[in-house]
């Protein structure tokens, strides 16, 4: 009768480890010293006659049936299990580390550093077994090696092996080894460092002989963090300072004292890996005191080098002066032709809706200007047309609270706010984009548009005066009234324009130069430039603030009144002989004069308010220019009407 194979397998498996109470085979007998040596071998990653690596089960196993005469089978295997388990943990760590190093795709820096740190700690644990084996081999025979003694001397190895395997399994994302998966290097780095940081945070307060786990984690964490610090070196040294492209042509070693990977944080991390800490500080303390403080010092040092290059090699102030010449209209010659052409187009009622035409006029203006050399190329400055929806919130707010005008002349359809649609963009040379970025150019553009409105008002009033000068033979009361109104409008525009040139163009620029000269880092220069932008925005009343929007709306309205007055003089000079036209024009003059007086009264009340003057001294300067010789307001703060007979006390 044939016995089923499955039954044979069951019987064999039942007795494969030997019968508990049967006499063992003499050939399986061994000595305790041999078992000690075998255990030390597997803890170092090697198989022996008594222990072997099971490739299928992925573990170290004891040779079947071995025994020693003075220990029971249960006692023997209970002792050996702790060695085989520790050796298995170390072997699995070794396999995983080799898998990382030999993977088809090159491991990202943080994962590679993690593997190297784990491999170094693996060697450190196995060296414990190596030293124990050397002690046994070189002993004089007086000390007998036993399994129980080995269990005591390898206790740190056994506990460390299990914890090391746990760290490796938890810190490396499992999906990384899947053949069809892709995980970005940044994601791998964040995952590894987060896991290590959390584990380190868990064990930092342990006591009672478990400090080895903390030291292991600290070693692996600092080693895995090194690529981040080296990456900082690379960004600062090779990325920022090095030149990858070889630009009405200098080697880093010529101007940097450090070489790659020689920064203080890198050296501190390396020291922490080899030091034996007396305490177990929190990981946040390690990062703050040992890394971040020195990284900040390094960043400040690099910042000073960048600042030096910005000021001297890349000529920062020269580039900022170009922005000043363009956006603050410092170079009257640079945009003179462009402004005259577009102002005349607007006077004729033509719209500004052709980008190509505007840029053609702009390039011609730059080429024919004596200051054209300020720009590297004429096309580095371009102008575009934006829609009203692109206005900022405060500009829209200012537009919504402007004094309404009951009548709309032909010129008003191309009124003062049509310039709001212009957007000038200057191509700042690298690396000065660190300061003059997109947001900064937007602020520059807001100031420029406001100054263009002042320019246009002055332009049309000058033209109106020329027409009035031609008609000076008719010295009637009406004509004198027109002259007086024109002078009041022109005085306001000229006073405001002179205020802008003194306060915005000269004073603010001097403060910027002084701030840059006193700066000690790139961050400080950026702060100085931001303060400069805020200063010129505030002095041109385009800063995002409700009070400033109210002031800007009245100024904007007066500039619009200048255009209305110009339109009236244009009408009178062309067809003013008709009585009905003259009557309508006089009604418009009444409206312009009335609204001008209202705006002036409002502005002087707000601008001369003691609290505002105390906060912003430049307002007092503007009041002095507008109220020259106390024409509108007395020294005591009383507003006077046009005739001078009535007095209104200002609050």
Q: What is the pLDDT of residues 67-94, one digit of tens each?
A: 888 888 888 888 899 999 999 999 999 9
Q: What is the pLDDT of residue 471?
A: 66
Flag whether pLDDT at 540 surpasses 50.
yes
Count of C-beta atoms within a 10 Å radius of residue 305? 18
Q: What is the pLDDT of residue 265?
A: 60
Q: What is the pLDDT of residue 249?
A: 37
Q: What is the pLDDT of residue 576?
A: 55
Which of residues 400 and 94 earns the better pLDDT score?
94
Q: Which residues contact 228 (CB under 8 A, 6 or more apart)?
A: 110, 189, 193
pLDDT (mean) for 537-542: 87
Q: What is the pLDDT of residue 396?
A: 41
| 264 pLDDT tier (thresholds 50, 70, 90) | low
| 241 pLDDT tier (thresholds 50, 70, 90) | very low
Q: What is the pLDDT of residue 137?
A: 81
pLDDT tens figures, 141-193: 566 788 888 888 898 899 999 999 999 999 988 788 777 778 888 888 888 98
Q: What is the pLDDT of residue 46?
A: 92
Nearest Cα to 167, choosing from 90, 83, 101? 90
Q: Which residues contact 386 (CB under 8 A, 6 or more apart)?
A: 421, 422, 423
Q: What percent of the chain has pLDDT over 70?
A: 76
Highest mean pLDDT range out of 9-13, 301-305, 470-474? 301-305
Nearest Cα to 203, choosing from 193, 192, 216, 213? 213
Full-model pTM? 0.61
Question: d(Cα 572, Cα 480) in Å, to the nearest integer?
Answer: 15
Q: What is the pLDDT of residue 533?
A: 92
Mean pLDDT across the chain = 78
pLDDT (mean) for 416-420: 86
Name the maximum alpha-carbon separation found in the chain: 145
Q: What is the pLDDT of residue 394?
A: 41
Among 85-99, 124-138, 288-302, where is mean pLDDT lowest? 288-302
Per residue, what are the HEC states of 478-543? HHHHHHHHHHHHHHHHHHHHHHHHHHHHHHHHHHHHHHHHHCCCHHHHHHHHHHHHHHHHHHCCCC
CA distances from residue 549 to 79, 147, 393, 534, 561 in whole angstroms, order as listed: 85, 88, 10, 15, 18
| 651 pLDDT tier (thresholds 50, 70, 90) | very low
pLDDT tens figures, 625-639: 888 777 887 777 677
Which of residues 406 and 266 earns the better pLDDT score?
266
Question: d(Cα 42, Cα 48) in Å, to the nearest integer?
Answer: 7
- β-sheet bridge partners, residue 29: 67
Q: What is the pLDDT of residue 238?
A: 52
Collect contacts of 19-24 with beta carbons under 8 A, ≥24 apart.
20/73, 24/65, 24/67
Q: What is the pLDDT of residue 559?
A: 92
Q: What is the pLDDT of residue 130?
A: 92
Degrees to nearest 5, angle at CA 230 with 227 and 235: 120
Flag whether pLDDT at 397 surpasses 50.
no
Among 14-28, 75-89, 248-262, where is mean pLDDT lowest? 248-262
Name the token pair of 426: 């200057």
Q: What is the pLDDT of residue 391?
A: 44
Among 85-94, 239-248, 271-280, where is mean pLDDT lowest? 239-248
Beta 51-54 vs 638-640: how paired, if at all? unpaired
Q: What is the pLDDT of residue 12?
A: 44
CA distances from residue 633 to 558, 605, 646 in whole angstroms, order as listed: 18, 9, 11
Q: What is the pLDDT of residue 22?
A: 54
Spatial contact of 154 and 126, defined as CB atoms under 8 Å apart: no
pLDDT tens figures, 343-354: 988 888 888 888
| 610 pLDDT tier (thresholds 50, 70, 90) | low
Among 122-131, 328-337, 358-367, 534-543, where is mean pLDDT lowest? 328-337
Q: What is the pLDDT of residue 91?
A: 95
pLDDT (mean) for 428-432: 78
Cis peptide before 217 (omega within 30 of 0): no
| 449 pLDDT tier (thresholds 50, 70, 90) | very high
What is the chain's alpha carbon radius of gyration, rounded to the nearest angstrom? 42
Collect contacts of 512-517 with beta carbons under 8 A, ≥24 apart.
512/320, 513/317, 516/311, 516/316, 516/317
């Amino acid at each position: 009768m044939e016995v089923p194979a499955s039954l044979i397998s069951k019987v064999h498996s039942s007795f494969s480890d030997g019968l508990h109470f049967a006499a063992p085979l003499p050939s399986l007998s061994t000595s305790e010293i041999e078992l000690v040596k075998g255990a030390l071998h597997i803890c170092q990653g090697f198989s022996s006659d008594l222990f072997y690596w099971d490739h299928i089960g992925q573990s170290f196993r004891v040779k079947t049936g071995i025994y020693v005469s003075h220990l029971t089978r249960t006692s023997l295997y209970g002792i050996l299990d702790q060695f085989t388990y520790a050796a298995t943990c170390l072997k699995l760590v070794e396999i995983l580390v080799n898998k990382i190093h030999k993977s088809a795709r090159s491991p990202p820096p943080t994962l590679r550093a993690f593997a190297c740190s784990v491999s170094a700690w693996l060697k450190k644990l196995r060296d414990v077994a190596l030293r124990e084996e050397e002690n046994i081999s070189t002993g004089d025979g007086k000390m007998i090696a036993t399994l129980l003694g080995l269990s005591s001397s390898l206790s740190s190895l056994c506990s460390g092996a299990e914890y090391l395997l746990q760290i490796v399994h938890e810190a490396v994302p499992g999906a990384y080894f899947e053949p069809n998966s892709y995980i970005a290097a940044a994601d791998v780095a964040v995952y590894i460092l987060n896991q290590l940081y959390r584990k380190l945070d868990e064990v930092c307060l342990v006591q009672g002989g478990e400090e080895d786990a903390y030291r292991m984690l600290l070693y692996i964490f600092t080693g895995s963090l090194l690529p981040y610090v080296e990456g900082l070196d690379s960004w600062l040294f090779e990325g920022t300072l090095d030149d990858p492209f070889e630009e009405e042509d200098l080697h880093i070693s010529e101007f940097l004292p450090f070489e790659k990977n020689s920064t203080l944080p890198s050296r501190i991390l390396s020291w922490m890996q080899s030091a034996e800490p007396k305490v177990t500080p929190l990981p946040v303390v390690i990062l703050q005191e040992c890394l971040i403080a020195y990284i900040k010092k390094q960043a400040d040092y690099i910042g000073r080098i960048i600042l030096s290059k910005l000021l001297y090699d890349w000529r920062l102030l020269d580039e900022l002066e170009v922005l000043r010449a363009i956006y603050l209209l410092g170079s009257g010659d640079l945009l003179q032709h462009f402004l005259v052409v577009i102002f005349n187009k607007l006077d004729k009622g033509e719209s500004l809706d052709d980008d190509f035409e505007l840029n053609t006029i702009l390039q011609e203006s730059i080429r024919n200007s004596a200051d054209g050399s300020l720009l590297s190329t004429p096309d580095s400055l371009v102008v575009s047309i934006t829609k009203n929806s692109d206005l900022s919130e405060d500009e829209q707010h200012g537009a919504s609270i402007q004094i309404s005008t009951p009548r709309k002349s032909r010129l008003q359809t191309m009124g003062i706010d049509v310039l709001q649609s212009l957007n000038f963009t200057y191509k700042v040379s690298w690396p000065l984009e660190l300061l003059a970025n997109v947001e900064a150019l937007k602020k520059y553009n807001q100031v420029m548009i406001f100054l263009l409105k002042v320019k246009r008002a002055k332009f049309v009033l000058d033209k109106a005066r020329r027409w009035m000068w031609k008609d000076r033979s008719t010295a009637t009361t009406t004509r004198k009234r027109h002259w007086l109104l024109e002078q009041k409008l022109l005085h306001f525009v000229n006073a405001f324009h002179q205020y802008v040139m003194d306060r915005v163009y000269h004073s603010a620029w001097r403060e910027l130069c002084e701030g840059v000269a006193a700066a000690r880092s790139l961050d400080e220069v950026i702060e100085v430039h931001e303060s400069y932008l805020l200063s010129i925005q505030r002095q041109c009343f385009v800063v995002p603030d409700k009070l400033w929007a109210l002031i800007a709306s009245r100024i904007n309205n007066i500039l619009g009144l200048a255009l209305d007055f110009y339109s009236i003089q244009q009408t009178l000079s062309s067809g003013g002989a008709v009585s009905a036209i003259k009557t309508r024009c006089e009604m418009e003059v009444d409206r312009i004069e009335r609204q001008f007086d209202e705006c002036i009264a409002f502005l002087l009340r707000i601008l001369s308010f003691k609290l505002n003057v105390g906060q912003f001294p430049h307002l007092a300067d503007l009041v002095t220019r507008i109220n020259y010789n106390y024409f509108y307001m007395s020294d005591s703060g009383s507003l006077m009407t046009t005739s001078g007979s009535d007095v209104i006390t200002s609050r």
